[in-house]
Amino acid sequence: MALSIIIPVGYDPNGLKITLSSLFNQNKNEIPFEIIVINDGYDLIVESVCFDFNVIHFPIYNNVGPAEGRNIGIRLAKYNLILFIDADVRVSKNWIELMYNSLNNYDYVGGKIEIDKKLITNFFEEYDAISAFDVINYMKRGHAPTANLGVRREVFEQVGYFMSNLRSGEDTEFGDRVYSKNKFLFYYDNDAVVYHPPRSIKAQLLKKSRVIKGHLNLANKFPDRYITYKETYLNPFIMLRPPIAQFRKIFKINNLSSMKKISFCSYAYFLKVYSFFCAIKFIITPTAVKLETKRDLSQ
């Protein structure tokens, strides 16, 4: 058996280069695999990177978003074991072998995602390393991020693909749909690690806004499945309450000074309040959910 690795990329040739370099730098990997890059929005430099690494390049001239990009990749894939990663992550040295072994035993595999600590340069990026990508708890709720996800083809054949009209929350919705079938085997692979670059404060705020909008959009589309998002995000008694669980997590970190812990807790509370106002703003003035790109972050 072999693997198809699908990477949707929107205007991030440098991130793609990092990801492809790590994929071709595996420890004694003898598992055959193909890499399919979906060039969403058709960036000429992304195309050049694909040619340099001799991977399958599929250009989309109109930006369709990562959900539809992954769907196109699934249709192009030759193999039944399908992996998804993002174009800015670095995979661990034995990632392909570990995900391959897990997918031979399970139907839906979420791998560990860590913030790349070597790239941290400031307070906000350090906080991102503490708070981002709690994949274990995501999996308990029925889904895993597509930054490190493996799915067998028969899952797509039975439950359908990612919802192409979603620009955020498509991995949540798809995972929940798979989980609700109660017939597929889920697995969290703690050893199959990908390293994600830390987000700046601008990137964190943009993502927070997008995720809130994405969740509320899911609540509007599927009230029977996601009404709790509205009930939570629009409740001031919940959203203006300090995030005690996050505070406890921060104070359990041994190598932080008391001042740093207090600062992180203050920032965590700010992000929760910010989320509440993002939700209120979206309800008052609904706008299209837009996935942030490297172009947005550089402006």
Q: What is the pLDDT of residues 145-193, one digit of tens each?
A: 999 999 999 999 999 999 998 888 999 999 999 999 999 999 999 999 9
pLDDT in tens, 232-258: 999 999 999 999 999 999 999 988 999
pLDDT in tens, 35-93: 999 999 999 999 999 999 999 999 999 889 999 999 999 999 999 999 999 999 999 99
Q: What is the pLDDT of residue 297?
A: 52
pLDDT in tens, 196-235: 999 999 999 999 999 999 999 999 999 999 999 999 999 9
Q: What is the pLDDT of residue 257?
A: 93
Pairing of strands 33-40, 108-115: unpaired
Q: How does residue 289 score in pLDDT terms, banded at 50, 70 and 90?
A: confident
pLDDT in tens, 158-169: 999 999 988 889
How confident is the prediction for the chain on average, in pLDDT? 93
Share of the chain above pLDDT 70, in %: 97
* pLDDT at 294 exceeding the cut of 70: no
Could you state, in order of their start, the residue ranges of all structural domains in the chain? 3-198, 202-298
Pairing of strands 186-196, 148-152: unpaired
Q: What is the pLDDT of residue 281?
A: 94
Q: Does domain 3-198 have CATH number 3.40.1110.10?
A: no
* pLDDT at 123 exceeding the cut of 70: yes
**pTM score:** 0.93
* pLDDT at 292 exceeding the cut of 90: no
